[in-house]
């Protein structure tokens, strides 16, 4: 059985003026997600600025999220690293903290071979019992995990169950699913093409958009699963201008600005990420109003 089906929110990590984690705002955001029917929370991923969290902060954020969610929906912890030993350490600690699953990004910068990726993931999976979702995002990591590698891992390693596909390459994703023959739980990593990936057999999305529109992303997936594909498609197309605004600068700069505009939490970022440019912020606010968020 899949860790979750539907809309999983790749949740941000709010910060205070002094740069520390703003747990009060984080708790408020988690409640907003749960009350608006998001299907899972993915904590300490790219959108959560995991790259600039210390290991202690990283694990504290996971622990807080698990405690705050309190088993109401699954919590999936981002524990990937370009160092295999670090990924093992973070994964084991996340398991101790009570996470329901793990999201493991492909090692970045090292540019591992496909065999290296296989050995990396198997080593991490062997260290824990939690189900694992692979995260394929070559635009950020410089490494593409090939469909054959994804399928091999899901077939040969019991607790590797699926992939977050942020390649943006639908033809490659179709090839993956044709090879998988049902052994890979597919999640879209691109908010603009959720429905197309559901049509290829996807289980849902790990979404940036659902930080600000959890109910809408949940409904888009639910409608598709109910067979109301035209309604689901209409929701997808309606969301495209807002999604484009949310990615007009590198994620999570725009989504943090959006949540600030909504009054849910501040938009502070950690360097080297910086404040959203005024023109892009204006465009984002306009699209949020059109979508009915503001």
Taking the CA atoms of 168, 174, 175 and 176 in sequence, report the sign of the dihedral they define.
positive
CA distance 254 to 269: 11
Q: Which of 32, 135, 187, 224 is catalytic?
A: 135
CA distance 143 to 81: 13
CA distance 193 to 218: 14
Active-site annotation holds for 32: no
Cite the beta strand spans of 91-210 per DSSP E.
101-105, 132-136, 160-165, 185-188, 204-207
In order, the DSSP letters of 74-113 are -EEEE---SSHHHHHHHHHHHHHHT-SEEEEEPPPSS---
Do the Cβ atoms of 97 and 63 come closer than 8 Å? yes
Do the Cβ atoms of 132 and 94 come closer than 8 Å? no
- Beta-bridge partner residues of 135: 105, 164
Active-site annotation holds for 164: yes
CA distance 182 to 256: 36
Q: Which of 68, 164, 203, 257 is catalytic?
A: 164
Please, which residues have CB within 8 angstroms of residue 143's CB and are 6 or more apart in sequence? 106, 107, 108, 110, 111, 112, 117
Q: Which residues are catalytic?
A: 135, 164
């Amino acid at each position: 059985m899949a860790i979750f089906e539907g809309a999983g929110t790749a949740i941000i990590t709010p910060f205070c003026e002094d740069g520390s984690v703003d747990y009060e705002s984080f708790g408020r955001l988690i409640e907003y997600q749960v009350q608006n029917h998001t299907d899972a929370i993915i904590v300490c991923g790219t959108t959560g600025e995991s790259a600039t969290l210390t290991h202690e902060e990283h694990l504290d954020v996971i622990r807080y999220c698990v405690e705050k969610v309190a088993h109401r929906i699954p919590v999936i912890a981002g524990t990937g690293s370009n160092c295999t030993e670090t990924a093992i350490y973070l994964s084991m600690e996340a398991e101790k903290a009570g996470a329901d699953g793990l999201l493991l990004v492909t090692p970045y910068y090292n540019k591992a071979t496909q065999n290296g990726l296989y050995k990396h993931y198997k080593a991490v999976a062997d260290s824990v019992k939690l189900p694992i979702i692979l995260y394929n995002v070559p635009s950020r990591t410089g490494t593409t995990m090939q469909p054959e590698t994804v399928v091999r891992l899901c077939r040969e390693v019991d607790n590797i169950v699926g992939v977050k596909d942020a390649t943006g390459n639908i033809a490659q994703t179709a090839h993956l699913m044709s090879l998988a023959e049902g052994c890979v739980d597919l999640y879209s990593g691109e908010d603009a093409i959720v429905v197309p990936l559901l049509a290829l057999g996807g289980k849902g999305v790990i979404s940036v958009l659902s930080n600000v529109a959890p109910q809408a992303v949940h409904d888009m997936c639910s409608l598709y699963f109910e067979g109301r594909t035209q309604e689901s498609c209409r929701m997808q197309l309606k969301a495209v201008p807002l999604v484009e605004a949310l990615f007009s600068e590198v994620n999570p700069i725009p989504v943090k600005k959006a949540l600030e505009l909504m009054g849910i939490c501040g938009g502070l970022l950690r360097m080297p990420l910086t404040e959203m440019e005024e023109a892009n912020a204006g465009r984002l606010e306009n699209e949020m109003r059109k979508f009915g968020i503001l």
